[in-house]
Amino acid sequence: MLADPSKRYTAQQVLKHTWVENIVPNSKDCLLNLNKDNLIKYKNTNKFQKAVLTFIASRLKEEEIKHLKEIFLTLDENKDGCLSLEEIKNGLSKLKDNNINILDIFNSIDTDNSGVINYTGNKHI
């Protein structure tokens, strides 16, 4: 890291860097390891079970959920920290076997009905 702040990249420059724009978000290996069966099982759980899963997930260490974070960041096309229904549709369309009801799964994960899925609230997926 450069000691002189005037010589460092700005946040905007970092976000526009080739590595951030092209390599990281296009890591299909990360997305292809998404287990759609887990999404379907989660969709079918009740509110109490989802609350318990959320609590357990909040206690996990970052290294234990690194893969989930990578999937989330890959799906988050506009890098706003939230997943819209459209971003999830785009990401799941890349899966080989995507015969799942994306809207039902999205609605089951969006427990606060905000229309988006935040990473911090959904580590358990």
Query: How far is the CA of 70 from the CAs of 1, 73, 74, 114, in angstroms?
Result: 24, 5, 6, 22
| Largest interatomic CA distance in the chain | 53
Task: Give 87: exposed, middle or buried? Use CB within 10 Å, 0-12, 13-18, 19+.
Answer: buried
**Tens of pLDDT, residues 82-102:** 999 999 888 877 766 666 788
Number of domain units in the chain: 1
User: Helix, strand or coil for residue 57?
Assistant: helix
User: Helix, strand or coil for residue 83?
Assistant: strand
pLDDT exceeds cutoff 60 at 23:
no
Structural domain includes residue 49: yes
Structural domain includes residue 125: no
**d(Cα 48, Cα 54) in Å, to the nearest integer?**
10
The residue to which tokens 């935040």 are assigned: 118
Structural domain includes residue 18: no
| CATH number assigned to the domain comprising residue 49 | 1.10.238.10
Structural domain includes residue 57: yes
The residue-averaged pLDDT of 40-48 equals: 79
The residue-averaged pLDDT of 23-30 equals: 53
Structural domain includes residue 21: no
Residue 92 belongs to domain spanning = 28-118
Structural domain includes residue 105: yes
Structural domain includes residue 11: no
pTM greater than 0.85 (yes/no): no
Supply the DSSP symbol for 23. Answer: I
Structural domain includes residue 10: no
The residue-averaged pLDDT of 113-121 equals: 79
